[in-house]
Amino acid sequence: MTDDMSTETVVEAIWHQLLEHHPEARRGGSPGAIEAAAAEPRLRQMFPFLSHGCLTFHRNTEYPWSNDLPFIACTTPYTVYAIGYAKLLGETETPQEAAALVIAHLPNDCCPAIEGPWPEPSSNTE
């Protein structure tokens, strides 16, 4: 990490790269969806990840991902799905509506992303 980015968290740095179309940022998704999600404080604290035309959000910054939050498929109309395409939460005409739909379905305990991999579930087999 460079000195000018040293005060920036990993999450903040990735959002900046996506918004500024930085050459090292992942490609795909929709610039409109990225901007709409970045404008929402609850989503801006999550780790954004672009893959297969979708903008996903995670509670951590390194693989393995939390994979437990709704996401936006950047199609027309925008579609919002629950975890792993388990359920279609809705279709929207604008990226702002899609971001709002994701927020409406975030778990109550959703807080800023942690740096590092998602913790393995404890294996208490008593």
Domains of the chain by residue range: 8-113
pLDDT number for residue 26: 77
Angstrom distance (rounded) from CA 101 to CA 11: 21
| Total-model pTM | 0.86
pLDDT number for residue 21: 86
pLDDT number for residue 28: 75
Query: Pairing mode, if any, of strands 71-73 and 88-92?
Result: unpaired
What backbone torsions phi and psi does residue 102 show, to the nearest 5 degrees?
Answer: -60, -50
Which residues contact residue 59 at a Cβ distance below 8 angstroms, ignoring those fewer than 6 apart? 46, 47, 66, 68, 69, 110, 111, 113, 114, 118
Q: Going residue by residue through the chain (126 aa), what tens digit of pLDDT does each one get?
A: 444 556 899 999 999 999 998 877 777 778 999 999 999 999 999 999 998 899 999 999 999 999 999 999 999 899 999 988 999 999 999 999 999 999 999 999 999 999 999 997 765 554
